[in-house]
Amino acid sequence: MQGKKRGRPKAEAPQLSPESIVEAAKGLMKEEGKIPSIRRLASTLGVDAMAIYHYFKNKEAMLEALAVSLVSEIYEPQISSRWKQQLSNLAISYIELLQRYPGLLETLLNMKTLGPATVFMQRFEIILKPLGLQQQVQKDALDLFVDYLHGFALAMSCNKNCEVALEVNAIEGPLNMYMTMLEDRQV
């Protein structure tokens, strides 16, 4: 019985890169509804698990790259006076992302690094820039917004077997109330 060699992939093996590993992980996550194990990912890529560690120092580094790549898919705003529409677009795209990739929310909440959160925070700050909010008000607004979106996404995932499914557009009312609150806090 011949065993696989560990470490760097063979030259004739499919071209492996950090990007190809992340793309394969996205596919598995979407298909299986959870973060794939390194072994499962390696099997899908046709390489030994150690080949993945050639590109990522550990599983946490691979998870961060995966999460940053996924969160980077959400709505990318421009500085504009249409901040309400952009905030709504950001909220909806984030919830839809969490729906498409089951397991992502739990992964994000358990991460020790801030890479994916930084992507989201930067987009949030661009949207709210025209309001000129004080730094603490903006931080509180971000915390409230993210907690609401995570709670809503969790409710959607728990609501799948109910007669009346929770739809993304159900955030409109609470989001409008939130935006009114932000307008009242403008400098």
- CATH code of the domain containing 40: 1.10.10
Q: Label residue 148 exposed, middle or buried (CB < 10 Å: 0-12, 13-18, 19+).
A: middle
The predicted-structure confidence for 133-157, as pLDDT tens digits, reads as follows 999 999 999 999 999 999 999 998 8
Assess if residue 65 is contained within a domain.
Answer: no
Average pLDDT for 100-123: 91
Q: Cβ contacts of residue 148 below 8 Å, gap of 6+? A: 171, 174, 178
Phi first, then psi, for residue 10 (nearest 5°) are -65, 155
Residues with Cβ within 8 Å of residue 113, at least 6 apart in sequence = 60, 64
- Residue 183 CA to its chain's centroid (Å): 27
Tokens (6 digits) for 40: 């499962």
Structural contact between residues 78 and 127, judged by C-beta atoms closer than 8 angstroms: no
Q: What is the pLDDT averaged over residues 81-102? A: 94
* Tokens (6 digits) for 173: 């009312």
Domain end marker among 27, 56, 85: 56
Based on the domain organization, do 82 and 110 belong to the same domain?
yes
Kindly state whether residues 88 and 165 are assigned to the same domain. yes
pLDDT band of residue 113 (cuts 50, 70, 90) is confident
Mean pLDDT of the chain: 88
pLDDT at 101 over 50: yes
Query: Does the residue 45 lie in any domain?
Result: yes
The boundaries of the domain holding residue 48 are 18-56
From CA 6, how far away is CA 13, in angstroms rounded? 13
Quick check: is 8 in a domain?
Answer: no
Give the chain's domain count. Answer: 2
Angle at the Cα of 78 from the Cα atoms of 72 and 81, rounded to 5 degrees = 140
pLDDT recorded at residue 1:
46
- Give the confidence band of 185 by pLDDT, cuts at 50, 70, 90: confident
pTM: 0.84
Of the two residues 80 and 168, the one the predictor is more confident about is 168
